[in-house]
Structure 1
Amino acid sequence: DPVPSQIEAAHRAGAQQIEICTARYAEMTDPTRSSAASLVEDEIGRIMESARRATDLGMQVAAGHGLTYRNVHAIARIDEIEELNIGHNIVARAALVGMERAVREMIAAIKGRLL
């Protein structure tokens, strides 16, 4: 989770890389739910600050859990995040359009070009 104490604990344990869990952000951006934009922005801020702190401590940063074509761009824009772990959404889309197109569409979403 994007919690400073967890970042610090990972560093003390000797971790060279962390993955910030984006599940809470993903839940907040689910189109079937109604979350205030300010809450979503606060969560993005927590993720961003955690990524910066981890980078400052010399760790590589990944992020993932619940990222979709519709919500990935805000997380992908965080410079300190070097890796996005997105599996389920791509595979589900690939069942409909094929893996090559699903990956191509996710790359477009990461760059901010929605489907």
Structure 2
Amino acid sequence: MITIFYWIFLAAIVLGVLYFIGHSLKKWPAGFFVAGFFLVVGVLFYYFYLEQAFVKNWGGKMSVKVPQGQVHISATWKDDNLWIENYDPVSNTCIFQEYSRGHMLEGKVVIKDCNPLK
């Protein structure tokens, strides 16, 4: 729910800037530039900072897909990063995959000869 409020707030800012600069001041090119700047900054701020903070702290929504052929075991938060443990029965390995803010600098730990399903 908090995510929806963020996007509504961002859309209101972008449209408000566009209306004020473009319509009221009659400077449409500057209005589109400033509104586009706010839109890009707002999207990047959400993607690189707010997404996981919303999910962890305020009940936001996030989707993570389990890779084909693997079995999901558990998920946990470490600080603001989500760690997911999956099991690959073909290679008999447990895979801990980190989902960090902006999906950058993600860690991965592979444990060989791991069979947690027995």
TM-score, length of structure 1 as denominator length: 0.27
TM-score, length of structure 2 as denominator length: 0.26
Higher relative contact order (CA 8 A, sep 6+): 1
Greater per-residue helix proportion: 1
